[in-house]
Chains A and B, each alone.
Chain A
Amino acid sequence: MTQTLTLTVNRQAHELAVAPDTPLLNVLRNDLALNGPKYGCGLGECGACSVLVDGMMARACVLPVSAVVGHEILTLEGLVIEGRLDPVQRAFIEAQAAQCGYCLNGMIISIRALLNHTPRPSMAQLRAALEYNLCRCGTHMEILEAAELAVTINAGESLEAPHE
């Protein structure tokens, strides 16, 4: 049963004719061509599909699209403002923390969500935040380095211009 729903994705409103129980991930990738979020497990286990909903981490594969009507959705693409990458994205490029890169969307979104809430996390907090983001390539050490770097860049930027 399709319905017309309005979703706010990356600061833009979209009217979509979808079944209300379609997973948000499918709508983002198939209807809005936003391929930053990845399909990993479809069961909320791996984190590859993560997006931000109202600034909080959310696993898009288990969220029915009807549950996010009226909320602000940001995908990896939406972290870029006027061509300028988010500090977390820059940290991952700088640290070259990738093998295949499939998990990076989830890693970056999770760190962004943590920093929104805890601007100066400890290493233990970073590890806890990434604990349930799976990486099949074993890139964990590099990813943690990038995470630490992200904290530093982010803190420096918020001194100049507070992020959001």
Chain B
Amino acid sequence: MSDRQPTAAGAELPKALASPERFGVVVRPPHYAWDGEHFASDHLVAIERDSVAGLPGRIEVVVEGDFVAVVADSLTAAQDAARNLRLEWRTASGKGHDGSPAMVAETARELANEASSRALPPHRHDYGWPSRLRWGDIPGWVVADCSDHCLTLWVQTLTPEALSQDLMALTGLPAERITLYGASPARASGLGRHCGDDAAMDAALMSRHLGYPVAVWLDAAYDRDRRALGQAQRITLNANVAKSGEITDYHYHQEHASGNIAAVGLWLCGKAPGRRIMTDDRALFSPYAFRKAHHAERRDAQGADPHSEGLAEIQQAFARESFLDEVARDTGQDPLALRLRHLDDARGTELISSVSRRARWGEPPSPTITPPDRLHGRGFAYAQLPDRHQRIPEGVRSAWIADVEVNRVTGEVALTRLVVGQDAGPEVDTSRLQQTLQARVLGSARPLLGHTPAFDEWGDGSESSGSHGGALMETTTPPETGAGSTSLPMPLHEADLSPGVAVIANALFDATGVRFRQPPFTASRVRRALQDPGNPLQGADNGGPARRSGRRWLKVAALTAVASTAAMAWPWKGAIAPIQRPAANLYSAETIERGRLVAAAGDCAACHTAEGGRENAGGRAFETPFGTLYSTNLTPDEGTGIGRWSYAAFERAMRHGIGRDGRHLYPAFPYTAFAKISDADMQALYAYLMAQPAVSAEAPANALSFPFNMRPLLAGWNALYHDPRPFEPSPTQSDLYNRGAYLAEGLGHCSACHTPRNAMGAERRGEHALAGAMVDGWEAPPLNQLSRSPIPWSEAALYDYLRHGGSSLHGVASGPMAPVVAGLGELPEYDVRALAHYVAVQMGAPAGDSDAISAEASALLAAARSGPSDMEEGERLFEGACAACHLDTGTPSFSSAKTSLALNTNLYSEHPDNVIQSILSGTHAEHVPGVGNMPSFADSFSDSQVATLTAYLRARFAPDQAPWQDIASRVATIRQYNNNTPSPHP
């Protein structure tokens, strides 16, 4: 191992890195990928620099080979420029392959032939290792300063040596002229690189071209690089097993020396050093003795660096120990016994026996009652490591037994117990090792079971997830000095960890019946594998998880049956048998907490709580064109609520709109949107609702007109208008977008209000999606390209509106939107950002508000300073009732409207409804801190006064818009509607 430490932790951070003034965003080619042998990407043909010339501020475009980036004065300016930059790419030509897969196939065939005469078929599995384990630990800045023949960087990296090598290849600078600040403690995981290295390379490329420091924002967007770089290592293992259970023939084939794949930027600019790969049959060390064994390895002709060697050891142990575990289970042997049978080494045998005794291997776990969302498993792995002088027989033996607990709903894995035996060297501090693995492998900065963003993941993984401490957290902004890592457990020698990956994979298999043949074992991967019966990741080629077959699996299947989904197979009608009400503590606290967030995002309580009633006890009235509907009781009361609903019944109602008793529910309940909810969220929601206090409350009978009171007709409605398929993330969109889409289209059910409905009450599709609609006597404005706000919305303004209840350039949330914003207050930051991003994309809105936007706003304010001269009556009403709060009197006021009416979206709408509604009902947002109230003027103004005032407001504050027609009749209709609907604010 090299002890060279490129990290200058503790040293003073240069000012250039601490306060960068220029910000860069990369523009990657539409297609780029590492296919295991080569890097291929589209080629840049032309670049239209004019396309960003008109944007405000100084914008520079950096081009080197196929690497393209824009640099600007702020991140949002750079993002806008990146979005506007027009580029022409030529599709990559076909990529060449050499014979390696064929060779593997050959070995397999050979073995198959040999095996045909024997009892058992040959075993063959592939194990993979990703080029990047995850995009990073937490969102944060990466800053590079390349000047005066020196390169300094503020980075997040787990692999400083590999990064330095890439940077040397880029700049040609010697190692001592490259300084990395803020890098994680040396060899923080030894498990491979993350995209912090790619971001560092991007920043370095930009800074090298421009000669000044450039900051790049590292976040989940870099997950695209992780996906593009795919698999770095593939190890194929074949074995023949005799009837006796002995492994008679063992083939080990390793594709690469290690998985050290260069940073994306280096490939794109064409500076990645070529790899000369050669096949080598030198005997790779294996601790086991087989009757016939064959090892083949393809490796770097130049020889690999020590860092890669360490990684290779971990990869080898992972593949070998996973494979032996699979063989043992497939042949019905105890995994530990199989190892012992092939171990011709007294020291090793003794060690394994003692570890096994210590961990009570083979004894059934003590029968404790566990929540139904928990699975437990135990795994074993063994390794023999060379000593200091690379002498294997003298080396250290190391045997591990790990217990894991898997939350089936969230997919989170906790390492609950670890027994490690090591027969030489300093004694292993197991509790510290467990703590280290928990932090590194399972905690919030989990390198192995790390976070990859999934569309139904709550939070962005950057927050410490409660019980598992986030020991490796780094600050998001460049701090004064290097990373504060002093309180961490001592960094471990990489090779010490080599059985650590396999032992978790084996324990995971024992717990879940799913074989993970490639790390990381992220919560989302675990969850997906557990919930998808036709597992798309199945199969050896992609190294993804595969299910085990046989008896053991049946047991697990029976266990999962309550919670599994068979979305299309529900009987359309027919009651689902009632169950005993589940105990409130049946599900684990984490699952219930997740469910609480799901309920907040779905805002169940908004509809299922009557005025002044108990939360979720139902009874709220809904006026529909078809009659009056009442929401139902969602508390787990057995008589009047959902206490006797099984999960299957609950899920059917949520996805198909069919009650437990088999009756169709009316689509006022937005099951059309809820069908999109992921299984994990659905289960968590059920767990949460069942854990709430039961309230006995019978909902009033619906009062619908014929034929809408005929529930069976809804079956036809469903067939026509309901698509019960769960949400599918779009592979071409970012994770932020997919998360936003999932929330907006599913739980958030935005379209229930913002999409117009047809005569049958079904949401219209295509271009009508989110095109605006009327609801509860208010207009839900268009959220697509038809948005008609006085100045265009930006993503930042949408975020302010959704998070804080108002945007200074657009106004505040009111009407039915106020409780929605209040509900969003429960959601993590990332989710609200994702929603804003999704809506911004629908609207085609820019990321931030530019200077041009501010100028436009000032112009609108100036134009509205005085009203039209010919509307005296309106002017008088306005001056008397509105001006005190809606005009600026030069005195700072706490109670006045914060946004001028000249910027209010409602005044620019095609319909006067929201203006009329605001005057008649006022606006109320008690639950949104910082947003004020407007009183109702229903009792002080006649219909004709409201109409006059409305016309005046339009003329004064939206002077370039056509006057509204038919205001008077809208006023009468809305007043009538309000009188008939019990108002929450009398």
Q: Which residues of A contact B (CB under 8 A)?
A: 1, 20-21, 42-47, 53-64, 66-68, 71, 110, 113-114, 116-118, 121, 125, 128-129, 131-132
Contact = CB atoms under 8 A, between A and B. Distances in A.
Contact of A131 (B889, B924, B929, B937): B889
Contacts of A62: 885, 895, 932-935
A21 B985 contact: yes
Given A20-B926, A62-B935, A64-B933, A57 B985 contact: no
A27 B932 CA distance: 17
Interface residues of B, number: 25
Interface stretch (B448-456, B847-855, B876-884): B876-884
A89 to B, nearest CB: 18
Contact of B891 (A46, A60, A71, A113): A113
Contacts of B932: 62-63, 67
Interface string B870-894: 0000000000110111010111111
Nearest to B924: A21
A43 B924 contact: no
A83 B440 CA distance: 65
Contacts of B980: none
Nearest to A112: B891
Contact of A132 (B883, B894, B929, B935): B883
A125 B890 contact: yes
A131 B883 CA distance: 9
Contacts of B881: 43, 45
B926 A59 contact: no
A128 B893 CA distance: 13
B895 A59 contact: yes
A121 B890 CA distance: 10
B893 A132 contact: no
Residue of A1, A64, A116 with most partner-chain B CB within 10 A: A64
A56 B940 contact: no
B885 A59 contact: yes
B891 A129 contact: yes
A67 B926 contact: yes
B892 A128 contact: no
Interface string B690-709: 00000000000000000000
B99 interface: no
Contacts of B985: 21
Contacts, number: 86
Contact of B894 (A45, A47, A53, A64): A53
B612 interface: yes
Secondary structure dominating the interface of B? loop
Nearest to A132: B884
Contacts of A55: 892
A68 B933 CA distance: 12
A114 B926 CA distance: 28
A43 B891 contact: no
Nearest to B612: A1
A42 B940 CA distance: 11
A129 B892 CA distance: 10
Which 4 A-B pairs give the minimum distances between C-beta atoms? A132-B884, A58-B894, A53-B894, A58-B895
Nearest to B937: A43
B893 A44 contact: no
A35 to B, nearest CB: 20
A63 B884 contact: no
A56 B895 CA distance: 9
A56 B933 CA distance: 17
Contacts of A59: 884-885, 895
A64 B935 CA distance: 10
Contact of A63 (B880, B892, B929, B933): B933
Nearest to B881: A45
Contacts of A125: 890
A56 B884 contact: no
A61 B936 CA distance: 12
B935 A43 contact: yes
Contacts of A63: 894-895, 932-933
Contacts of A132: 883-884, 887, 889
A50 to B, nearest CB: 9
A114 B889 CA distance: 10
A131 B879 CA distance: 10
B365 to A, nearest CB: 48
A78 to B, nearest CB: 15
Contacts of A20: 926
B926 A44 contact: no
Given A57-B892, A58-B893, A66 B926 contact: yes
B893 A21 contact: no
B612 A44 contact: no
B892 A117 contact: yes
A44 B893 CA distance: 12
A57 B937 contact: no
B813 to A, nearest CB: 15
Contact of A128 (B889, B894, B933, B935): B889
Contact of A45 (B884, B895, B926): B884
Interface in B895-915: 895
Given A59-B885, A62-B933, A131-B889, 9 more contacts: A43-B881, A43-B937, A44-B895, A56-B891, A59-B895, A64-B926, A67-B933, A110-B891, A113-B893
Contacts of B612: 1
Nearest to A21: B926
A53 to B, nearest CB: 4
A44 B884 contact: yes
Nearest to B929: A67
Contacts of B892: 55-57, 113, 116-117
B272 to A, nearest CB: 57
A117 B892 CA distance: 7
